[in-house]
Amino acid sequence: MKKEIALFGGTGLIGSDILDVLKDDKDYSLIRVITRRAVELNNKKFSNIIIDFNNYKSIKDSIKGCRAVFVSIGTTQSKVKWDLKEYKKIDYKIPIDIAKACIENNINKYLIVSSAGANINAKGFYLSLKGEIEKNIISTGIKNIYIFRPSLLIGKRSEYRFGEKIAQVIMPIFSFLLPDNFKPIKSMYVAKSMVTESKKTINKTNFYHFTEIMNILND
């Protein structure tokens, strides 16, 4: 029997690193890379499925039969021209729709990239929204939920973000001054830990910050 998994956000920083990890992984035979536009995938294990993310049935059909679903999807406020309603439609609605589709398809492993500091009661829009997303995903009742909360990601994005590029240079220098949960971390480390954890049955919701992610890699 083929062990199929699905990945949303395969063109992003962590998503592309997840694909790099999976291309040589022997436990998963087929990876569905679900996108809104066609992408070039140079591995026979990868299958690009193009869907309308505003169509719930498309999401549901795209993951049917999968063992696990990885979610590393999102946008930036600048990309949606600072339209918070549009931002929420992407960052909030899509991950929750994917979680609901997992329940309907009897998929019991859901892995998502959130953010360090995510808290529904946070004062800032971004972190409170991340907390709200987490809460709603947990409320779906998926048996195994893996929530990864990295801080600043170190890695090469396909698109240039000036402020983040500066932070990637400066923050590692002062990382020893930061609480562990907020230390910058390589995106590849997050990707490797996600793939590793996806093979474990935890029967609960787990949160992974800097320390937990590094411990997984060192096991």
User: Cβ distance 183 to 175 under 8 Å?
Assistant: yes
pLDDT at 160: 46
Which tens digit of pLDDT belongs to each residue from 3-45? 999 999 999 999 999 999 999 899 999 999 999 999 999 899 9
pLDDT of residue 58: 98
Task: State yes or no: pLDDT of 166 exceeds 90.
Answer: no
The mean pLDDT value for 93-113 works out to: 97
The mean pLDDT of 75-89, rounded to a whole number, is 64
Instruction: Give the closest residue to 132 by CA, choosing from 160, 96, 178.
Output: 96
pLDDT digits (tens, 9 = 90+) for 196-205: 999 999 999 9
DSSP assigned state of 10 = T
In this prediction, residues 169-193 reach a mean pLDDT of: 77
Separation of first and last alpha carbons in the chain:
29
pTM of the model: 0.88
Query: For residue 141, what are the contacts with CB-CB under 8 A and spacing of at least 6?
Result: 103
Residue-range domain boundaries for the chain? 4-218
| 4-218 fold | Rossmann fold (3.40.50)
The residue-averaged pLDDT of 186-212 equals 97
What pLDDT was estimated at residue 87? 72
Q: What is the mean pLDDT of the chain?
A: 88
Residue 155 has pLDDT above 80, yes or no: no
* pLDDT of 146 above 60: yes
| CA-atom Rg of the chain in angstroms | 17
141-170 average pLDDT score: 73
Q: Which residue has the tokens 């439609």?
A: 89
Q: Average the pLDDT over 116-131 and give the result.
A: 93
